[in-house]
Structure 1
C-alpha cells in the first residue's frame, strides 16, 4: 500500500473512534456562522467536505440548497441522515477523500469544509480538488483552526507522543493563515478572512480534557496506542496544564475560547 494510502487509512480509522456527534455540538456555532455568511439560495448546488454528522450540510439544506456531504469515514452518516430526516430535508452522503473528490469539474456553486479539510495529508491536492469542483463565480467557505488556538496546542501535545508522517500531515494549522491560503488557492480566488472564536463551556481544564478523552477520535486512538500505557498519564497531564492557560471567565461564564479563521474564497468568473 502506498504511503499516502497508509495515511488515509490511519485517518479513516482514527476519526471513526468515539462519539464525534458530541464534539460536533461544540463546533456547530462555527457552522452557523459560516452558513449565515454564505447565505446559500434555494437550489444552490453545495458540497460539504469532511461533513462529519452534517452540521453545515443540514443548515444549508434547510435554506433550500441541494447539498451533498462527503467524508473519509461513513461512521458519522447514520447520525447525519437521522438529523436530516428529522429536519425534513434530503442530503446525499458520500464516502470519499478530499484529495480525490468523486465529482466532475465545476460541479458546485458552493464548497465548504469546517475544521476538516485542513487535516488532509496533501494540502495542495486537497485545495486543488476544492478549487476544481467549484464553478467559476462560485465560493469556497471554510473554518480552519489557527496556530494560536487551543486545538493547535492540543494537537501539538498529541503529536509529540505520536509523530505524524512526513509532509504537511503534521501542519494542519497552516490552513489558519491567510497568506498560506492565498498561495495554496492561487490567483483564481479572491479571499476574505476573519478571526473568530468558538466557546467551549467547561469551567475547568480537567473537564474539557475528560470530554475529549471520552469522545474525540484522535485522542481515543492515542490512548489506545500509547506504550507503555502509563505514558498516557504524562500526556494527559500536559493537556490539562496547557488547557488551564486558556480557561477564562467573561459574560458567558467560565470556559475556553478557541480561535479559528473563517474563510470565504470566491473563484473568478472566467477561466
Structure 2
C-alpha cells in the first residue's frame, strides 16, 4: 500500500520554490491574461473579488481597474509586496493578505467572483484548492481561471524539467487544470456551467538562450531545477530546453516568439 501523500511537506517545498528567483519578473509579462480573464468573468463595479495565488497581481489589478473590491492573496509575501507596489503606482485601493489556496481564511460565499491566473493550478492538493475556491464563491457567482494546458508550451516545458528533476510522488501534474475533464472533476458538482476558451499567450524574447537565461534566474521551478543539478546535468537540461524553444519558435531568426496555450475558464457557481 502506498503511503499517503504528505501535502504539508510538499507545500513547504513548493513555497520555497516560488520564493526563489523572482516570479514578478516573469509575471508582469502575463498582464494581458488577467485583463482578458476579468472581461470573461464580466466583473462589475463594487463586486467582491478574491484573487487566489495572485503572484504579483495581474488578475488583482485587472479586477481593481474595473472598480471591484479586491482581496489579493498568495503564500509568498514578497510577491504580494510587488502587487501592492503596482497598485500604489496606479492609486488603486485594495487588500493584500497572505493566504494558502488550500485553506482560505474567508467565510463561505464571501465573494462574487474568485479568480486565479496560473496560480491555483500549482497547489499540491488540487481537490482541496478547488473546493476552497467554490466554498468562498457565492451561489450565482463566478470562478475565473487561466490554466496552462498539458500539450501547450508550459506543459511541455514542465515535462522537460521532469525528465531531469523528477517531481515528487503522489502529486497530480499542475497542467491537468488545463484539461476540461479535470475541470469537470474539480468543479462539476459546484457548477451550473463551465465555460472554456482556448487561448494563446505569446512568450517574446530575444532568443531561446535569452529565454533560458531569464527563466533560470527568475522563474522558481526552472531556477530550482538548475540548482538541483550538477554542471553536466544542467547542461543537458539547458540543451533540451533550447531544443524545445527553437522547435516551437514561430517567428524569424532574429527573435523568439513561442505561443503558450492555456484555458480561460469561467465556472458559474451553482
TM-score, length-normalised on structure 1? 0.92
1:26-65 equivalent positions in 2, closer than 5 A = 26-65=29-68
Q: 107-116 or 156-165: which moved more?
A: 156-165
Q: Deviations over 1:221-245 (max 9, x none)?
A: 122222x333111111111111111
Q: 44-53 or 152-161: which moved more?
A: 152-161
TM superposition shift of 1:203: 4.5
- Partner residue in 1 for 2:81: 78
Distance 2:81 2:124 in 1: 26
1:140-219 equivalent positions in 2, closer than 5 A = 140-169=143-172, 171-189=173-191, 190-219=193-222
Unaligned runs of 5+ in 1: none
TM superposition outliers: structure 1 runs of 4+ over 4 Å: none
Distance 1:78 1:188 in 2: 33
- Partner residue in 2 for 1:128: 131
Q: 17-26 or 81-90: which moved more?
A: 17-26
TM-score, length-normalised on structure 2? 0.93
- Assess if the C-alpha contact under 8 Å between 2:249 and 2:256 holds in 1: yes
- Partner residue in 1 for 2:258: 256
Unaligned runs of 5+ in 2: none
- Assess if the C-alpha contact under 8 Å between 2:208 and 2:256 holds in 1: no
Q: Deviations over 1:109-142 (max 9, x none)?
A: 1000101111111111111111111100000000
Match of 2:251, SS? strand
1:96 equivalent in alignment to 2:112 = no
Distance 2:228 2:260 in 1: 27
> Structure 1 residue aligned with 2:245, among 238, 243, 257?
243
- Assess if the C-alpha contact under 8 Å between 1:18 and 1:214 holds in 2: yes
- Assess if the C-alpha contact under 8 Å between 1:52 and 1:77 holds in 2: yes
Distance 2:138 2:248 in 1: 40
Distance 2:207 2:256 in 1: 8
- Assess if the C-alpha contact under 8 Å between 1:157 and 1:235 holds in 2: yes
- Partner residue in 2 for 1:17: 20
Match of 1:39, SS? coil
TM superposition shift of 1:254: 4.9
Count of aligned residue pairs for this structure pair? 263
- Cα RMSD (Å) of the superposition? 1.5
